[in-house]
Amino acid sequence: MNPSPAALANANNNAKSTGARRRRWREVRAEAWALLDSVVADGARVAVVGAGNGDDLPLGRLARRASQVDLIDLDATAATAARARVRGIARRRVRVLEGDATAGEADAVIAAARRGAEASSGAAAAPHAAASLGDGPYDVVVLDLVLTQLLYPALKGTMGGKAIDAVLLRHGQRVTDAVVARAWAATREGGAVVVLHDLLGWWEGHEQPFSIERLLGLAPQEALALAQQGSLPYGCDPWVATRRAGAEVAMTRTWRWPFASGADYAVFGLVTRRRPAGAAAVTEPTAS
Ligand SMILES: C[S@@+](CC[C@H](N)C(=O)[O-])C[C@H]1O[C@@H](n2cnc3c(N)ncnc32)[C@H](O)[C@@H]1O
């Protein structure tokens, strides 16, 4: 069996984590906790999809609050190391579940794109469409900076930028919608799906028409409106996917993710809840 291209590419990225990165992301963990604190009740069952090295979430705090924290990732090696860093008895509440949130759909798109073929819309997903995520039902499912990483890492380096854009524009949102729908299917009634999303990046050669400071100084709705004047990732819009899943954004926080020296992302942290039965979808700004 061929190794999963998405898993290989993401494991390569995860292997670049260092202690310096973990220290640099300390404030990012605090920001994530400021969002999760009011959402994760005592004894909650929580899944973190895209937990990776566990550098961007305070896994120890989460495990002390929750009764169970399942780290779901393509890269079980990184997640196992993240679990090992949780101190004390809380570690027993953390499990690593190797799994693909796209249920094979991302790999089908990537393989077809590398062959220069076209993954037929939806067909790749059909055999796996009902595949469940983790070991739900969960009170809270966190999609942890994962939506931008479903297709891009495996496409990068194997084809040119324009070809990557074409694949993301054609298939990305469908794959993203399926992941968000699967997160909701794994969430119990009354629960929440929290989406942490790296909406905008700044680095040399990839500037935005406004500064990250200006964006983060705005209220979330205004920040989202301004973000739309910038260069956004293609085919991974969590606002669209949330609406299509019958849910809505109940709370938003934004923060800086100092990814590497000279590279910053603006993270939008969204707490999403199911729309009450019969309620119409609110038209919100989307990122795409
Ligand atoms: C940018 S990292 C997120 C940062 C990570 N939470 C950390 O602190 O290291 C994205 C993570 O999503 C995982 N991932 C990508 N595609 C996935 C998929 N289809 N299913 C599950 N995890 C996936 C990657 O392996 C990686 O660990």
pLDDT digits (tens, 9 = 90+) for 75-93: 999 999 999 999 999 999 9
Q: Quick one: 238 exposed, middle or buried, by C-beta within 10 A (0-12, 13-18, 19+)?
A: buried
Look at residue 194 and tell me if it is in a domain. yes
Predicted local confidence at residue 12, as pLDDT: 95
- 281: amino acid identity, one letter: A
Look at residue 280 and tell me if it is in a domain. no
- Tokens 């005592």 identify what position? 42
Predicted local confidence at residue 17, as pLDDT: 87
Q: What is the distance in A from the centroid of ligand 1 to the CA of 54?
A: 9
pTM of the shown model? 0.94
Look at residue 287 and tell me if it is in a domain. no
Predicted local confidence at residue 157, as pLDDT: 76
CATH number at residue 128: 3.40.50.150
CA distance 273 to 122: 26
Tokens of 127: 């055999």
Look at residue 38 and tell me if it is in a domain. yes
Look at residue 286 and tell me if it is in a domain. no
**CA-closest residue to ligand 1 atom 13:** 50
**Which residue from 103, 36, 38 is spatially nearest to 74, judged by alpha carbons?**
103
Predicted local confidence at residue 278, as pLDDT: 74
How far is residue 222 from each of residues 225, 258, 267, 284, measured CA to CA in Å?
5, 22, 14, 11
Site to substitute for ligand 1 among 149, 168, 171, 177, most atoms within 8 A of C-beta: 149
**CA-closest residue to ligand 1 atom 14:** 50
Q: What is the distance in A from the centroid of ligand 1 to the CA of 50?
A: 3
Look at residue 240 and tell me if it is in a domain. yes
Number of domains in the chain: 1
Find out whether 92 and 60 touch, Cβ atoms under 8 Å: no
Look at residue 18 and tell me if it is in a domain. yes
- List, run by run, the mean pLDDT of 10-residue segments along the chain (288 residues): 87 92 94 98 98 97 98 98 96 98 96 78 49 93 98 92 95 98 97 98 95 97 97 97 97 96 96 85 60
- Residues of the domain holding 223: 5-274
List helix spans (H) across the chain. Answer: 5-14, 19-24, 26-36, 59-65, 76-84, 105-115, 152-155, 161-167, 173-185, 212-216, 220-227, 238-244
CA distance 215 to 200: 10
Is the CB of 173 within 6 Å of ligand 1?
no
